[in-house]
């Protein structure tokens, strides 16, 4: 139950009745009109696609595709990145601490919890929210070719999911020692 004057109500009043209220309204309209874009394949903009920066970025992040697939097939590509968990530190929240108590409250109702993390700063390296300078190694397995079909049965989806997960597990096991992951 929300009491009058609680945080969400005050925040909403602040957004709608502030000096720049028009930006809140314009953003809400844009969000409503644009809400289906992820399911429509995003926005294709030739202006952005031909920016000069992409020529420089391709040299910084080189990648090559293994082969061209025929128009009647698609591919699931198993990819795993080692080191992603190391670019941020998480605040310790041992059982019984006030932080664990505080995180468990929303977890009971939403099945999710907000992690408290920290890393380095922009101009200093002791504290901040910028990711740490630690290597991330991404390994890519050969593509799993999948025939394009308009409607897949749940059995087919489950079978492809199991195959993808098995390939991902094999990829992890093949590269974990090279990337300092302990043997379980």
pLDDT tier at 108, thresholds 50, 70, 90: confident
Beta bridge partners of 123: none
Specify the pLDDT at position 41: 74
> What is the pLDDT of the chain when averaged over all its residues?
80
The model carries a pTM of 0.54
Instruction: Name the residue with higher pLDDT: 60 or 117.
Output: 117
Specify the pLDDT at position 90: 85
Reply yes or no on whether the pLDDT at 166 is more than 90: yes
- Say which range, 19-23, 57-61, 110-114, 154-158, has the weakest mean pLDDT: 57-61
What is the residue-wise DSSP string for 23-81? HHHHHHHHHHHHTTGGGGT----HHHHT-THHHHHHHHS----S-PPPTTEEEE--EEE
Instruction: Name the residue with higher pLDDT: 178 or 71.
Output: 178
Specify the pLDDT at position 2: 45
> pLDDT tens, 43-75?
777 787 788 887 777 776 665 555 555 667 788
């Amino acid at each position: 139950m929300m009491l009058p004057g609680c945080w969400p109500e005050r925040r909403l009043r602040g957004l709608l009745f502030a000096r720049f209220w028009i930006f809140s309204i314009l953003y809400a309209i844009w969000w409503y009109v644009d809400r289906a874009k992820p399911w429509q394949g995003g926005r294709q903009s030739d202006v952005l696609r031909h920016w000069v920066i992409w020529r420089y970025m391709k040299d910084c992040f080189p990648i090559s595709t293994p082969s061209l697939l025929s128009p009647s097939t698609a591919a699931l590509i198993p990819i795993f990145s080692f080191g992603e968990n190391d670019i941020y530190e998480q605040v310790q929240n041992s059982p019984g601490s006030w932080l664990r108590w505080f995180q468990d409250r929303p977890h009971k109702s939403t099945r999710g919890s907000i992690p408290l993390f920290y890393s380095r700063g922009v101009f200093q390296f002791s504290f901040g929210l910028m990711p740490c300078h630690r290597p991330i190694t991404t390994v890519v397995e050969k593509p799993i070719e999948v025939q394009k079909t308009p409607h897949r049965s749940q059995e087919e989806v489950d079978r492809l999911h199991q195959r993808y997960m098995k390939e991902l597990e094999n990829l992890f096991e093949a590269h974990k020692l090279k990337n300092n992951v302990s043997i379980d």
